[in-house]
């Protein structure tokens, strides 16, 4: 067979880069950027090659695995699904439906079948004990969108291609390739801001890759973003810089409460706690307001701190009050070809609360910081079994050591995953789905967060091996056993899903979406996407308020009473204290060659200098007798890790940074390359009790730690 080409979207991160895969007789020859993709324009990052590495990985599980006294053994799919359903049903029969918990990992959002048909699994389990990676990441974005715009997925994104001033707080898009801002080739897009006479300003405790490219970088003390943002809003009102004439402000309810709430937070008051001078704060506000088109983008570093929800709310207010919402170059709403808003709940905060600590749920999910205690604490409602799907919470959620202990104590556990990793090693059964290249792909969520309206569908590159199952087929197999259809309608629905899979639902959503119904001449269908292998450009983002609002009254509800009730906690959280010489505040970091914990078995992505290091400032290193490469013990309330020092002026004094996703030294995993580059898990330091009280989201940044040379 001659060499063939296959066009698809790389689904390893949010950027949706178009790629061209050449293959010969079932073997991948190369993976390159698709220059004809109108969105990514030929750009790819180093992660793209991991699609080949995952597909060919000898450690990737290809058949169901059962734990036995003699170790892991392969079993048939029928036996695996039967045993999984029997174990789940037994626990629920003896202890109630909520005794079975679920955890969904980040890769689910990159999987069309998981996104469109994941409800099959949850509906059949019928449990309220649901957790996911959302509450160690973007939960504040969803709550703000729910409150202000009426739906948890109605999140406006920066119009990066037309802005003149981009203020980036707690984000490093050069490493993350965006994040709640789907933006391929972000480096060139940021550089283009300067080329057209604009500016990029970054505020971060570390001089990140993005900060190094920016026009200006300000250090800020971890966890103090809320003070900076409050003071910026105070300046807006005090200096009469609010765009009171802007059309979006006429849609807002609750504006009258804002000036009084922010009035006490002057730049002079917050400066000692943030590390930014009052003059710098005032100048930042002046520059932001003076720009013709400006946008403030706050991301991971803002979200995962003790005031993450309030901070993201203040970011939205900054854009709103300066007339940047729903404006070209500001924050804008997308118009996706597949709009899942009509098929998902708008979100609700605090319908239920966790048993032990009383933390609120959102959108039917509890904060994952509470998962271990819900398993370990005796009493009615204790979680006794888990179903995990494409997640590794032992490495990616707070106090991983405690969760390790909790998972080991379960009565039963099923993992839908194709790796034996730090989490799935606790399972009784591992059910591996097909590889990413053996399934069709459409980015259901990331087209909703893209900085330009586009659409792209790809059929599978390789046919699934005989007997292999897709994720959605595993869900369907469990649903048939746990909750057999009881009506003719349910039987017909299951039969249709079994026949068409996610492709059938996707085709319907395209046809009845806005672009399929007439926004695009000729409509937009699955067939037209298949005839357009490079994807279809649907144009730039356009103003869409008030029509885009999901509230019945077509208003923006600011809910100041909810958010500003948290100011009392802010007042009590920033006393005048000096850090001891061996103390620091911990932050995480990302790298463009990593994706959380699950690409470290690709030898091409982990080769080179060790990336799992602890960054610290030269002044602190000298005071503690630590040199570059010295093994350092970092200790928090919940644990200690040891890793080599990386002494650099690129981090703020009194701050240390450890990357997320490493720590592959635990026994019982089956990932040879990852084990050779084990590193240490930053989440053996992060604290399950250190949360954003307002949302329940994990506070992974600003964790107090101490440092010492390892002995």
Residues 461 and 510 in one domain: yes
Q: Are 4 and 23 in contact (CB under 8 A)?
A: yes
Q: Which alpha helices (H) appear in 429-558, and where do they start and end? A: 471-482, 488-512, 526-530
User: Which of the four pLDDT bands, split at 50, 70 and 90, describes residue 173?
Assistant: very high
pLDDT > 70? residue 465? yes
Q: What average pLDDT score do residues 465-477 get?
A: 97
User: Which of the four pLDDT bands, split at 50, 70 and 90, describes residue 577?
Assistant: low
pLDDT of 585 reads 97
Residues 8 and 53 in one domain: yes
pLDDT digits (tens, 9 = 90+) for 610-668: 899 999 999 999 999 999 999 999 999 999 999 999 999 999 999 999 999 999 999 99
Asked if residue 442 belongs to a domain, the reply is yes
Number of domains the chain contains: 3
Asked if residue 355 belongs to a domain, the reply is no
Residues 460 and 385 in one domain: yes
Q: What average pLDDT score do residues 94-102 get?
A: 98
Residue with tokens 């600011």: 558
State which residues form the domain around 230.
Answer: 159-328+556-567
pLDDT > 80? residue 516? no
Asked if residue 342 belongs to a domain, the reply is no
Question: 3-state DSSP call for residue 499?
Answer: helix
Asked if residue 28 belongs to a domain, the reply is yes
pLDDT of 37 reads 96
Asked if residue 347 belongs to a domain, the reply is no
Q: What is the dihedral of CA 498, 501, 506, 512, to 10 degrees?
A: -10
Distance CA 455, CA 470 (A): 23
Residues 7 and 113 in one domain: yes
Q: What average pLDDT score do residues 133-160 get?
A: 97
Q: Does an H or E element contain 646, and which?
A: strand 640-647
Residue with tokens 């109108």: 38
pLDDT of 711 reads 80
Residue 132 CA: distances (Å) to CA of 104, 135, 364: 5, 7, 10
pLDDT digits (tens, 9 = 90+) for 272-285: 999 999 999 999 99
Q: What average pLDDT score do residues 29-53 get?
A: 94
> Nearest Cα to 272, choosing from 315, 206, 217, 228?
228
Q: What average pLDDT score do residues 30-45 get?
A: 95
Asked if residue 409 belongs to a domain, the reply is yes
Residues 402 and 319 in one domain: no
pLDDT > 90? residue 2? no
Q: Give one DSSP letter per residue of 535-587, joined into a string.
A: -EEEES----TTTT--STT--EE--HHHHGGGHHHHHHH-------TTEEEEE
Question: 3-state DSSP call for residue 601?
Answer: coil
In this structure, the number of other CB atoms found within 10 A of the CB of residue 15 comes to 30
Kindly state the tokens that stand for 120. 């099959």
Asked if residue 142 belongs to a domain, the reply is no
Q: What average pLDDT score do residues 364-381 get?
A: 97
Cis peptide before 35 (omega within 30 of 0): no
Instruction: Output DSSP code: residue 138.
Output: T
Q: Which alpha helices (H) appear in 632-692, and where do they start and end? A: 672-676
Residues 389 and 284 in one domain: no
pLDDT of 598 reads 85
Length of the chain: 711
pLDDT of 177 reads 87
Asked if residue 546 belongs to a domain, the reply is no
User: Which of the four pLDDT bands, split at 50, 70 and 90, describes residue 1?
Assistant: low
Distance CA 122, CA 119 (A): 5
Q: Does an H or E element contain 8, and which?
A: strand 4-9
pLDDT digits (tens, 9 = 90+) for 405-446: 999 999 999 999 999 999 999 999 999 999 999 999 999 999
Residues 82 and 164 in one domain: no
Question: 3-state DSSP call for residue 318?
Answer: helix
Residues 560 and 533 in one domain: no
Q: What average pLDDT score do residues 483-505 get?
A: 95
Residues 504 and 652 in one domain: no
Q: What average pLDDT score do residues 354-383 get?
A: 97
Q: What average pLDDT score do residues 32-36 get?
A: 96
Residues 126 and 219 in one domain: no
Q: Calculate the average pLDDT of the chain.
A: 95
pLDDT digits (tens, 9 = 90+) for 64-93: 999 999 999 999 999 999 999 999 999 999
pLDDT > 90? residue 349? yes
User: Which of the four pLDDT bands, split at 50, 70 and 90, describes residue 574?
Assistant: confident
CATH number at residue 1: 3.40.50.740
Residues 6+ positions from 185 with CB-CB distance below 8 Å: 15, 17, 40, 41, 43
Residues 123 and 169 in one domain: no
Residues 129 and 165 in one domain: no
CATH number at residue 178: 3.40.228.10
* Percentage, residues of the chain above pLDDT 70: 99
User: Which of the four pLDDT bands, split at 50, 70 and 90, describes residue 576?
Assistant: low
């Amino acid at each position: 067979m001659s060499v063939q080409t296959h066009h698809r979207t790389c689904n390893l991160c949010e950027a949706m880069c178009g790629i061209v895969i050449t293959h010969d007789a079932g073997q991948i020859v190369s993976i390159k950027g698709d220059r004809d993709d109108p969105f990514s324009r030929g750009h790819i990052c180093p992660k793209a090659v991991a699609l080949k590495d995952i597909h060919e990985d000898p450690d990737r599980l290809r058949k169901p695995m059962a734990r036995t006294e003699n170790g892991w053994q392969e079993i048939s799919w029928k036996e695996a699904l039967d045993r999984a359903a029997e174990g789940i049903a037994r626990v629920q029969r003896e202890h109630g439906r909520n005794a079975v918990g679920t955890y969904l990992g980040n890769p689910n959002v990159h999987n069309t079948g998981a996104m469109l048909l994941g409800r099959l699994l949850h509906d059949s389990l019928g449990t309220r004990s649901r957790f996911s990676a959302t509450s160690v990441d973007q939960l504040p974005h969803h709550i703000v969108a729910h409150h202000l715009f009426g739906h948890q997925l109605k999140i406006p994104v920066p119009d990066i291609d037309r802005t003149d001033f981009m203020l980036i707080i707690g984000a490093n898009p050069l490493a993350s390739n965006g994040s709640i801002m789907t933006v391929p080739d972000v480096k060139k897009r940021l550089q283009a801001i300067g080329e057209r006479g604009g500016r990029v300003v970054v505020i971060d405790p570390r001089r990140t890759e993005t900060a190094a490219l920016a026009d200006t970088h300000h250090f800020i003390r971890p966890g103090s973003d809320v003070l900076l943002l409050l003071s910026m809003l105070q300046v807006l009102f005090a200096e009469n810089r609010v765009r009171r004439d802007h059309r979006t402000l006429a849609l807002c309810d609750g504006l009258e409460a804002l000036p009084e709430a922010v009035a006490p937070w002057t730049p002079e008051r917050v400066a000692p706690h943030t590390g930014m001078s009052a003059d710098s704060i005032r100048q930042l506000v002046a520059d932001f307001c003076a720009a013709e088109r400006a946008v403030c983008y706050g991301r991971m570093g803002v979200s995962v701190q003790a005031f993450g929800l309030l901070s993201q709310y203040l970011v939205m207010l900054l854009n709103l009050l300066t007339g940047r919402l729903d404006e070209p170059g500001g924050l804008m709403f997308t118009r996706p070809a597949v709009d899942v808003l009509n098929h998902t709940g708008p979100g609700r905060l605090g319908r239920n609360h966790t048993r032990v600590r009383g933390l609120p749920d959102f959108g039917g999910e509890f904060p994952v910081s509470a998962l271990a205690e819900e398993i370990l604490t005796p009493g009615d409602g204790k979680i006794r079994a888990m179903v995990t799907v494409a997640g590794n919470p032992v490495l990616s959620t707070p106090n991983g050591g405690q969760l390790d202990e909790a998972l080991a104590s379960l009565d039963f556990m099923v993992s839908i995953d194709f790796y034996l990793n730090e989490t799935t090693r606790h399972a009784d059964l591992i059910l591996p789905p097909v590889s990413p290249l053996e399934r069709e792909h459409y980015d259901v969520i990331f087209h909703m967060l893209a900085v330009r309206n586009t659409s792209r569908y790809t059929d599978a590159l390789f046919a699934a091996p005989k007997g292999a199952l897709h994720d959605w087929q595993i869900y369907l197999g469990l649903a048939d056993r746990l909750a057999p259809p009881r009506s003719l309608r349910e039987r017909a629905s299951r039969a249709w899903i079994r026949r068409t899979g996610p492709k059938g639902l996707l085709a319907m959503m395209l046809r009845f979406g806005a672009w399929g119904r007439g926004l695009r001449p000729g409509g937009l269908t699955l067939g037209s996407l298949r005839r357009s292998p490079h994807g279809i450009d649907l144009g730039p983002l356009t103003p869409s308020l008030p029509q885009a609002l999901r509230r019945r009254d077509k208003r923006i509800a600011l809910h100041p009473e909810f958010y500003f009730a948290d100011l009392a906690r802010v007042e009590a959280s920033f006393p005048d204290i000096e850090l001891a010489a061996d103390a620091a505040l911990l932050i995480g970091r990302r790298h463009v060659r990593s994706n959380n914990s699950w690409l470290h078995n690709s030898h091409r992505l982990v080769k080179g200098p060790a990336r799992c290091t602890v960054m610290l400032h030269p002044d602190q290193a000298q005071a503690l007798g630590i040199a570059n490469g010295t093994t350092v013990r970092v200790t928090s309330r919940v644990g200690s890790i040891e890793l080599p020092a990386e002494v650099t002026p690129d981090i703020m004094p009194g701050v240390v940074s450890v990357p997320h996703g490493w720590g592959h030294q635990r026994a019982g995993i089956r990932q040879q390359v990852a084990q050779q580059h084990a590193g240490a898990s930053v989440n053996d330091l992060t604290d399950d009790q250190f949360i954003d009280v307002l949302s329940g989201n994990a506070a992974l940044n600003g964790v107090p730690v101490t440092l010492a040379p390892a002995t």
